[in-house]
Amino acid sequence: MKKDIHFLSIKKSQREKIVSLTAYDYMTARLEEESGVDFILVGDSMAMAVFGEENTLGSDIDVMIAHTRAVSKGAPNTIVVGDMPFGSYEKSDSLAVKNAARFVSEGGADAVKLEGGDSRSVSRVKAIIDSGIPVMGHVGLLPQSIAETGGYRVVYSSKRAELFEDALALEEAGVFSMVLEGIEEELARELTLELKVPAIGIGAGRYTDGQILVVNDLLGLSGGFNPKFVKKYVRLDGIILEALKAFSREVRNGEFPAENNVYHAREGK
């Protein structure tokens, strides 16, 4: 049965942890659904995880929507959230609504996510929700704002007032949940208790309503990228490298293809 966004609120009310991952393709989404994740984010982190960019600012909305469609097909019974990339909503409410609608109509997403809780972001959130599309908020460390903040900076208690103001403004605007990224653990705990909507942490400690990670990081496919908040549950890069080396070796020495890998003429032909 298809989960919907209200499912996440129920989990918060029952104090059940919410599990989420990013996905960027059909096969990964299929496996994530089979594993039982509660929602999948098609993150603008794709720019870094898939295309090797240094940050998320170069994410292209057409590419994002195409990958969202692949994820939606791979996980038809899981909530899929499309991450609106930099430049797709800042200019105006009407542009934000137009691009959010594309994530739903073309990408098959169930909701979209926007970064920030300032007055501009709140206006965009309200406009999108008024158009009938659910929105997930995002506060704390904002990857799309690194040019303004001077890099990836953890949010500590000195920024408490601003953080709470942004988060509560987003909640009042009608977001159904919120990502808390790169926040001091006790501060994130306090904010999670304050919020009525589910708070999903990434680098925000142990006390949020749920956790999300970039799937490539979890699987050990991110090379030397080792932020403190990530746990690598397997190191697939090494496993894949050994398989590639074995294939190259067998081709060069004539072991592959072997007898059981080839077709012969049919009998009687």
Q: What is the pLDDT of residue 3?
A: 86
- Asked if 151 and 173 count as a contact pair (C-beta separation under 8 A), the reply is no
When pLDDT is cut at 50, 70 and 90, the band that residue 269 belongs to is low
What tokens were used for 134? 């659910």
Q: What is the pLDDT of residue 227?
A: 86
The 3-state secondary structure of the chain reads: CCCCCHHHHHHHHCCCCEEEEECCCHHHHHHHHHHCCCEEEECCCHHHHCCCCCCCCCCCHHHHHHHHHHHHHHCCCCEEEEECCCCCCCCCHHHHHHHHHHHHHCCCCCEEECCCCCHHHHHHHHHHHHCCCCEEEEEECCHHHHHHHCCCCCECHHHHHHHHHHHHHHHHHCCCEEEEECECHHHHHHHHHHCCCCEEEECCCCCCCEEEECHHHHCCCCCCCCCCCCCCCCCHHHHHHHHHHHHHHHHHCCCCCCHHHCCCCCCCC
Domain ranges of the chain: 6-235
Given the candidates 1.10.10.60, 3.20.20.70, 3.40.50.300, 3.20.20.60, the CATH classification of the domain at 6-235 is: 3.20.20.60
CB burial of 18-36 (b: ≥16 within 10 Å; e: otherwise) equals bbbbbbbbbebbbebbeee
Section 192-204 average pLDDT: 98
Closest CA to 109 of 143, 59, 62, 75: 75
What is residue 155's DSSP assignment?
Answer: B
Number of residues in the chain: 269
Concerning whether 181 is annotated as a catalytic residue, the answer is yes
Q: What is the pLDDT of residue 52?
A: 93
Pick the catalytic residue from 115, 171, 181, 184: 181
At 151-167, the pLDDT tens digits run 889 999 999 999 999 99
At 18-48, the pLDDT tens digits run 999 999 999 999 999 999 999 999 999 999 9
Please check the confidence at residue 216 and state whether its pLDDT lies above 80.
Answer: yes
| C-alpha–C-alpha distance, residues 202 and 156, integer Å | 15
When pLDDT is cut at 50, 70 and 90, the band that residue 148 belongs to is confident
At 80-102, the pLDDT tens digits run 999 999 999 999 999 999 999 99
When pLDDT is cut at 50, 70 and 90, the band that residue 268 belongs to is low
> How much is the mean pLDDT over the chain?
96
- Asked if 43 and 22 count as a contact pair (C-beta separation under 8 A), the reply is yes
Please check the confidence at residue 260 and state whether its pLDDT lies above 80.
Answer: yes
pTM for this prediction? 0.95
Q: What is the pLDDT of residue 188?
A: 98
Give the DSSP H/E element, type plus range, for residue 28: helix 26-35
When pLDDT is cut at 50, 70 and 90, the band that residue 146 belongs to is confident
| C-alpha–C-alpha distance, residues 120 and 247, integer Å | 53
What is residue 23's DSSP assignment?
Answer: -
